[in-house]
Chain A
């Protein structure tokens, strides 16, 4: 099965107020047909509110939602042809697996034999063949999750919506299920909006990630760009551990800027940098342990070293600031000793303006 009519989704100036509080603040999103988009952010950032407005459970205060240029902002939820996979799975407890899947098909008045065919099809898609007659409470959490997915896929929705669907699974299962979901989505070529607060999930699954904070979108880009070139401190911090230092551009030649920061002098690639006030940002795994300094040196005392299995996480005290570095798991890092690191110029990302006080 392949979804031939892929639906594009456009959200225009969408705003939702609850009394005085703004849950979603003037958000505009354009999604191509077949794209897998993740809304990523901390709890309360408005990502679930957007999802629920797309499904039609909440009416926006202002703004519009379009499926392929058709305004569906005020269409009731049962007439939208979205399909949602809920955080709690929301399986109907009094129906069997097959009846759960059949529910949406019956609502669309799909003929009996076609219903049977589709139930079998989606169940084999999520690898639950033979469990038609089970009730939800007889299934494991992972199986329930896949029934929820099958139920959503069976109706062949225009838009597939996920509301933190993996948060009730254990860590190991989560990693395998996210690969499965992504594979299915690619195969079916179905426009998908996925809400999560787990950056690993977002990085692993998405075509594009929309990072949200306080009802606004902070940055929208591919996983690689979001991780490598965060726009501001919030994005940098949310996408994993980041070392950030504020500074001033003191020299600029051939696309390489020299920046004076509280941690010392840094040289970094910064094509087209405009302002004088900037921040530099790099990831702990990009720091190289060296014997003697060279360019972009970070020198400090080891406060704490934490064995992580795949690496050792080192907390350095540099001029009173804490800097994180990941070193090979086999390197011995004595707490209290001094250590010298360098950061390759191409690994340092320059953000314009002061880092936000997040």
Chain B
């Protein structure tokens, strides 16, 4: 008689299976393939056996440089984007005429594929690009600046910011919209000025969303292949480029697998750091 509850209990795993099962099978396959190959299993050619050999050989100068470079691009992009995004979100939050018409246009970069963004920005930043020509014309610089394939990856940072600021804007803006008007009015009513309103109400209620937006940008830019390959320096290459080159150009799959494992661990580490920062911020209020 009391069967409805039990039926439901049997139903849940069945319903979860397609979505969660698919993701788990694929991801577990990827993870185990990466880890096992880094220890010498599943070789396409030659024999497969357990070995630390590839890990011992991994940490040369090229690898360390790549790691530092990817971390630099990842942290740089996520932090610089947020430095622009947050004030912009506050600025756009207040009502002004024509807001609903203008906002979708600002979202455009979100819908521009990363490679196209790369092309569009390279156009502007190139040796004879618009920015350089204007700067030379204004007499601010004598020689055009090198911003594509440059040592400091300024071009890459700029492309990532162009693409990711609107992305962060969506997340931070929705957090701002999520603050109920009456809460702000209550704070005003209790005597908070604009500054206090921001530091005590708005900032604490949006900081976790801002950090999430930064995490998402970090993950994307730290593991980026195409933008760095097209607009980044020749050396060092990003981790993803290094990994792909080793696997496809030199058939060194085991080395590539080691790089992959380091990338995954690094992402987990950095996400943990951001989460820690978020919890410190939320606790202190």
Query: Count of chain A residues with Cβ under 8 Å from any Cβ of B?
Result: 3
B16 at interface (Cβ–Cβ under 8 A)? no
A76 at interface (Cβ–Cβ under 8 A)? yes
B190 at interface (Cβ–Cβ under 8 A)? no
User: CB-nearest residue of chain B relative to A76?
Assistant: B4
A74 at interface (Cβ–Cβ under 8 A)? yes
A63 CB, nearest partner CB in chain B, Å: 13
A99 at interface (Cβ–Cβ under 8 A)? no
Chain B residues positioned under 8 Å from A74 (CB to CB): 1-2, 4
Query: Count of chain B residues with Cβ under 8 Å from any Cβ of A?
Result: 4
B142 at interface (Cβ–Cβ under 8 A)? no
User: CB-nearest residue of chain B relative to A73?
Assistant: B1
**CA A74 to CA B5, docked complex, whole Å:** 11
Interface digits, B1-37 against A, CB 8 Å rule (1 contact, 0 not)?
Answer: 1101100000000000000000000000000000000
A80 CB, nearest partner CB in chain B, Å: 14
A68 at interface (Cβ–Cβ under 8 A)? no
B213 CB, nearest partner CB in chain A, Å: 32
B284 CB, nearest partner CB in chain A, Å: 36
Chain A residues positioned under 8 Å from B5 (CB to CB): 59
Chain B residues positioned under 8 Å from A59 (CB to CB): 2, 4-5
Chain A residues positioned under 8 Å from B4 (CB to CB): 59, 74, 76
User: CB-nearest residue of chain B relative to A61?
Assistant: B2
**CA A59 to CA B4, docked complex, whole Å:** 9
User: CB-nearest residue of chain B relative to A56?
Assistant: B4
User: CB-nearest residue of chain A relative to B5?
Assistant: A59
**CA A76 to CA B2, docked complex, whole Å:** 11
Residues from 21 to 72 in A contacting B, C-beta threshold 8 Å:
59
**CA A59 to CA B5, docked complex, whole Å:** 9
B7 CB, nearest partner CB in chain A, Å: 11
Residues from 70 to 90 in A contacting B, C-beta threshold 8 Å:
74, 76
A12 CB, nearest partner CB in chain B, Å: 16
Chain B residues positioned under 8 Å from A76 (CB to CB): 4
**CA A76 to CA B4, docked complex, whole Å:** 9
**CA A218 to CA B242, docked complex, whole Å:** 77
User: CB-nearest residue of chain A relative to B2?
Assistant: A59
**CA A59 to CA B8, docked complex, whole Å:** 13
**CA A74 to CA B4, docked complex, whole Å:** 9
B11 CB, nearest partner CB in chain A, Å: 15
**CA A74 to CA B1, docked complex, whole Å:** 7
A sample of 7 inter-chain contacts (CB < 8 A) reads A59-B2, A59-B4, A59-B5, A74-B1, A74-B2, A74-B4, A76-B4
7 nearest CB pairs, A to B: A74-B1, A59-B4, A59-B2, A59-B5, A76-B4, A74-B2, A74-B4
